[in-house]
């Protein structure tokens, strides 16, 4: 058994998984999510901004301490949409590798699809004609798969942060803003998803923070519970109810809804709109929620890294920027 750590440098959140892995089995030691909004402003300006960078670096300082305390032998940090799209993304990733001693990997859309599939299937097999939906802050990955592997995938530039910044400028958003957001999602799906994938889809599995958060709201939990969220089935009707509810109130009121993370409140409406449109576009009436996702895939990929050398991390790993 090997103890590894995976860090997901996402557009909306920065996440940590420390786990014991053996023969493909992942036993969680610690999972942590911090909403850091690294992708704030990237869609409009094309670069990572100083304040989001500082937020992420502060979180990584905490994560580094946790990883060391728990004795992880290998750490892999993966980067997705925001870092991929930003002009200064690769230089930021280089800073992360130097400052914190993490091995880093900038994922292409293809990489994301394969790693998401690997994570989702770490504790299960998927049925034939399944579409996996990985809804992030900057992009959404769609993966058509069966138990033998990935059959088709694509990475679409529609995520909760990106579409909030593009379309939802009022608080709460207006009906016309919501319509524009939904129309943009439908147009992109029609352009990029092959007719054969759409027609064949028989079930969907949804991963990442927006979808798990909506599941927790649908379950009416007082406190977030991974075990109850994992495997929960979100119907199209439930998605529509939650979208109507969340879009009808201002951000500050949304922040108080349990068990929603208050920092996810500003972008949750666009996120729910995206997943609602995807389920409807695929002709399905529900989507199953999975807590296993790309972070689990990254933990498995971390096994392939060489073991960390003692003292490899420089002093910058222990100080805030």
The model's pLDDT over 7-39, given as tens digits with 9 standing for 90+, comes to 999 988 999 999 999 888 899 999 999 999 999
For residues 137-153, give the mean pLDDT.
Answer: 89
Q: Alpha-carbon distance 74 to 307, whole Å?
A: 6
Question: Could you tell me the CATH number of the domain that includes residue 159?
Answer: 3.30.420.150
Structure tokens at 252: 């500050």
62 domain residue, yes or no: yes
- What does the pLDDT read at residue 112? 86
Residue 86 · residue 46 · CB < 8 Å = yes
**pLDDT on residue 319:** 36
Residues 264 and 300 in one domain: no
| 28 and 165 co-located in one domain | no
Residue 250 in any domain: the answer is yes
Please state the domain count of the chain: 2
Is there a domain that residue 246 lies in? yes
pLDDT surpasses 60 at 177: yes
Q: Which pLDDT value is given to residue 114? A: 87
Average pLDDT value over all residues in the chain: 91
When pLDDT is cut at 50, 70 and 90, the band that residue 149 belongs to is: confident
* Overall average pLDDT of the 198-223 stretch: 95
Q: CA-CA distances (angstroms) from residue 229 to 16, 37, 212?
A: 19, 23, 6
3-state secondary structure of 282: coil
Q: What is the mean pLDDT of residues 269-281?
A: 97
- Do the domain assignments include residue 114? no
pLDDT digits (tens, 9 = 90+) for 66-116: 999 999 999 999 998 889 989 999 999 999 999 999 999 999 888 888 899
> Which CATH number goes with the domain that contains 24?
3.30.420.40
Domain assignment present for 256: yes
What average pLDDT score do residues 196-205 get? 95
Cβ–Cβ < 8 Å for 268, 160: yes
Tokens 């993370």, located at residue: 261
**Token representation of residue 237:** 């009707």
The pTM score is 0.89
Query: Are 281 and 313 found together in one domain?
Result: no
Does residue 118 belong to any structural domain of this protein? Answer: no
Instruction: Provide the b/e sequence for 247-265 (b: ≥16 CB within 10 Å).
Output: bebeeeebeeeeebbeebb
Is residue 316 predicted with pLDDT exceeding 80?
no
- Assess whether 56 and 40 both reside in one domain: yes
Which is it for the CA torsion 312, 316, 318, 321, positive or negative?
negative
Choose among 252, 243, 199, 194: nearest CA to 217: 243
What is the pLDDT, as a whole number, of residue 113?
Answer: 82
Which segments within the chain are labelled E, that is strand?
2-9, 13-22, 25-35, 74-79, 103-106, 130-135, 140-146, 149-156, 203-207, 233-235, 286-289
In the predicted structure, residue 310 carries a pLDDT above the cut 70: no
pLDDT the model gives residue 159: 93
246 membership: H or E segment, kind and range: helix 236-247
CA angle 40, 46, 48 (to 5 degrees): 50
Residue 44: give the domain boundaries: 2-109+296-318
Q: Work out the average pLDDT over 229-247.
A: 96
- With cut-offs at 50, 70 and 90, classify the pLDDT of residue 318: very low
Q: Over 90: is that where the pLDDT of 273 sits? A: yes
Is the distance from CB of 38 to CB of 53 less than 8 angstroms? yes
């Amino acid at each position: 058994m090997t103890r590894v750590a995976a860090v997901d440098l996402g557009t909306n959140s920065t996440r940590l998984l420390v786990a014991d892995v053996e023969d493909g089995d992942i036993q969680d030691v610690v999972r942590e999510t911090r909403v850091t909004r690294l992708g704030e402003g990237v869609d409009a300006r094309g670069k990572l901004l100083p304040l989001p960078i500082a937020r992420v670096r502060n979180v990584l300082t905490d994560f580094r301490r946790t990883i060391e305390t728990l004795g992880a032998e290998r750490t892999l940090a993966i980067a997705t949409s925001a870092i991929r799209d930003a002009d200064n993304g690769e230089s930021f990733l280089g800073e992360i590798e130097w400052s914190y001693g993490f091995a880093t990997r900038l994922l292409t859309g293809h990489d994301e699809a394969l790693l998401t599939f690997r994570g989702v299937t770490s504790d299960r097999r998927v049925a034939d004609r399944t579409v996996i939906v990985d809804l992030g802050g900057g992009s959404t990955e769609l993966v058509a798969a069966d138990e033998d592997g990935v059959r088709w995938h694509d990475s679409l530039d529609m995520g909760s942060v990106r579409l909030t910044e593009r379309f939802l400028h009022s608080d709460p958003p207006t009906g016309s803003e919501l319509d524009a957001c939904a129309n943009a999602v439908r147009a992109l799906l029609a352009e990029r998803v092959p007719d054969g994938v759409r027609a064949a889809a028989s079930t969907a599995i949804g991963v990442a923070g927006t979808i798990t958060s909506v599941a927790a709201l649908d379950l009416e939990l007082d406190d977030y519970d991974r075990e109850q969220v994992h495997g929960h089935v979100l119907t199209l009707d439930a998605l529509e109810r939650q979208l109507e509810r969340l879009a009808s109130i201002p951000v500050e009121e949304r922040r108080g809804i349990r068990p929603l993370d208050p920092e996810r409140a500003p972008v949750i409406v666009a996120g729910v709109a995206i997943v609602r449109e995807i389920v409807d576009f695929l002709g399905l009436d529900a989507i199953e929620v999975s807590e296993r996702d790309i972070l689990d895939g990254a933990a498995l990929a971390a096994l392939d890294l060489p073991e960390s050398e003692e003292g490899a991390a420089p002093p910058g790993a222990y100080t805030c920027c």
